[in-house]
Amino acid sequence: MVLKSIRVFLMILTVLGMLACQRSNIQNSHLPSAEIKFSEIPSDSVLLYALAPNIPGLKRVYKSRDKGDWESALNYLVDYFKETAKTRYYFSWEDFPDKYIKYFNIFPNRLEYHRENSAYLKARYGTDTHWELPFKNLKGEDVTAYRLRHLARQSKHPDMVMMYFAEQPESENLSYWNGQMFDLNQAFAAGKYDDEGNGVYEVFRAGKRTHHWLFGHHAYLSTPDYTWKNQLESIRTFLHTAAQLAERGKKPRHGNHHTRGMVALFEVASTFPEYAQASAWLDQAISGITWHLEREINSDGFQFERTIHYHKSDIENFLRVWQLAKCGGIQLPEAYETQFKKMFDALIVLAQPDKKLPVLQDDTDAPHAETNEIDDVMAIGTILWQDPAFNYFSSGDVSPLFYWLLDEADLAHLESRMVEQPDISSAALEETGYYVMRNGWEIDDEYMVISAGLSDTKPDHQHADMLGLVAYAHGNEILPNYQVKYNKPDFQYWKNSWVKNVALIDSIPQSQKWKGNSGGSGFGKWLDLPEPVVNVSAFGENIDYFRGSHNGYKSLNISYQREVLFIKDGFWIVSDYFENPDEIPHDYQQLWQGKYHLKNSRAVIASFENGSTFEIQSLDTTVCDWVMGNYMSKGSVIRLENSASHRHRMTSLLIPRKSDEVDLPSGWAVLRGADLKTAYPDLNDKEVEWVLAKGDTMLHLADNVNIDHNDVSQTVSVYVYRIGKKVQLYGSDMEWLLQMLNPNYYKD
């Protein structure tokens, strides 16, 4: 009897189970796809059914969802993500009010900056704006491609967030953001958004927008005015953007755009890991970011596009991932830390004695500025690795941007910090192609960087400055380079040779073929850049020597090379050498940046506010002309010589002086003519036109000297550097001469 009753009970359970299954199948057959698609804004049902199963914290969500009570399920879902947000972002929303107060204690002058940016955005775009060109903004102005791209990035959204929480709050900013986010989703659904050259969902623009909107989301979680329905719309938007980033970022491609998109994908995936697709997104993001780290951070530690701006931008990218991986216990590849740290080491190589960085290629933070700041990124290096040499360049505070990416434990690392001056002198980033000559780290020391590289994968940000120089001395940029701005009509001028310290022929810049980008935002690149060859890079105790060439004038059938000697007492010799087998007359030009006045027929001089000066002096007997130039408050001078010789050389002496100096430093003197014959009667004055002398030390250029070595005889040009009886030769025309040189000083 009991067995019979059990059988009946089991049969009833089986029937009920079958009916439940049928009911579930009927319901599921009417459900939309439980997948977050890049092609559509996720519906409420997708937000609920795209969740991974069996997550303990989501039991109430599953239960309400499966009962058909979707409003409760969505409410529970929002509550869940609000709670988990405390430990999944760079800061907890519970701590935001205190962090906000501390921010303005550190940066008291930032309030007006945020106020201006907030007002700028609201004055030009409404919550129901357009997301494709053409259209006019609220001021009746035509929105350019450049401006649409920045609208898509939402770069001023964090400013609006800061002003929402200000003492005089802009309380409308929250509803403005909610409305504009909803408007973007509607525009996507209607297909009314730019998807070509100015694509609103292009990985860089969507990635930047994700950074900025995630910041707003986590800040606004601290106020009850950010309703659960507002939060739900934000979550919906983040997930859809992640699907877009995953689709558009499938194939890695060189450059900051793909990197930025993968970082944003990592941010969303690590913030909402409960979604079934988040795991695949996370894997794709880590794989993509590692791809960039391994292929775009050169072996010398510098970013492959050769620009300070994009190097620092990638430090921000990799820091974002580093910090969120730490929060979420996410394992990053071993190569991540190694490559990341090398980026800070490379900045020490490039740093000037004034603890700033030179301008190299497309630097864009401050148009026409002559330096880049380093203290902000080196504070990050100090926090992550506690390296006192990194901390030498830190001011003790982080930048406003990095502040929000760091927790209190991170910031505490800067409070009790050790400082140590770097122990490197002259050095090279050989793969990147930057060769740095320096004689110390004090403010009055001298520094020069020679640009002799070309990115073989993405030279988009390269300037026409092959073998160009940037130099610093005594607190001044004595041979400056200048930052640029993409949307200015003269952008290509600032990217070309007329604002560089290079050698030219017949006023022909190194590059001429200009290609603007497809969206018309103003950015562009050169298509025919010279290819460099570095022959010698030699760093010694008393003197550094560099020799390189490029093929920028092959169309004229002229070969060119530049030599730079740095005498570490504090001056340079720069020699440009041209071979013209056709012996056709040409104008040969050395172009120098700065504001100069004519000292005499042989020299020009620049003066600085701190009393120091910088002189450029011809060491050649050839008569030269000096042609002064000026553009946008920046000055220049061209040293000009016309020649039809088979070989033509222009040698200039570069002399930076302190305010109390009137000649060469440390007792050096230039000897020519009768003075040279008297001092060095053994020298052949037909071969040696000048000598730099200091006591028993002398340096001169010997052209057309016959050297015998290993039964080989050849006529060469060499620089002879002698201290007493010790002679060192610096080769100009022959590779095998390097075999004669002191191996402690030279390497090829």
Domains of the chain: 306-424 (no CATH), 427-664 (2.70.98.70), 668-748 (no CATH)
**Position 719, amino acid:** Y
pLDDT at 9 over 50: no
CA distance 64 to 72: 6
pLDDT at 213 over 70: yes
Using one digit for the tens of pLDDT, what is the confidence trace for 706-746?
766 556 666 778 898 998 888 888 876 555 454 444 343 33
Strand partners, 397: none
Q: Is the pTM of this model over 0.85?
A: yes
* Three-state SS annotation for 155-224: CCHHHHHHHHCCCCCCCHHHHHHHHHHHHHHHHHHHCCECCCCCCCCCHHHHHHHHHHHHHHHHHHCCCC
pLDDT value of position 707? 65
* Residue 65, number of CB atoms within 10 A of its CB: 22
* pLDDT band, residue 149 (cuts 50/70/90): very high
SS3 265: helix
Q: If you write DSSP's letter for every residue of 694-731 in order, what string do you get?
A: ETTEEEEEEEEEEEEETTEEEEEEEEEEEETTEEEEEE
pLDDT at 377 over 90: yes
Lowest mean pLDDT among 406-420, 437-451, 468-482: 406-420
Q: At 728, list the tokens.
A: 């060192």
Lowest mean pLDDT among 111-120, 294-303, 517-526: 517-526
pLDDT above 70 covers what percent of the chain? Answer: 91
**Do the Cβ atoms of 596 and 628 come closer than 8 Å?**
yes
Closest to 47 measured CA to CA, from 242, 210, 236: 236
Name the average pLDDT for the chain: 91
pLDDT above 90 covers what percent of the chain? Answer: 81
Using one digit for the tens of pLDDT, what is the confidence trace for 235-277?
999 999 999 999 999 999 999 999 999 999 999 999 999 999 9
Higher pLDDT pick, 13 / 175: 175
pLDDT value of position 57? 96
pLDDT value of position 125? 98
pLDDT value of position 748? 33
pLDDT at 413 over 80: yes
Closest to 669 measured CA to CA, from 559, 561, 571: 571
pLDDT value of position 218? 98
pLDDT value of position 3? 38
Mean pLDDT value across residues 216-227: 98
Using one digit for the tens of pLDDT, what is the confidence trace for 604-613?
999 999 999 9
Using one digit for the tens of pLDDT, what is the confidence trace for 657-670?
999 888 999 999 99
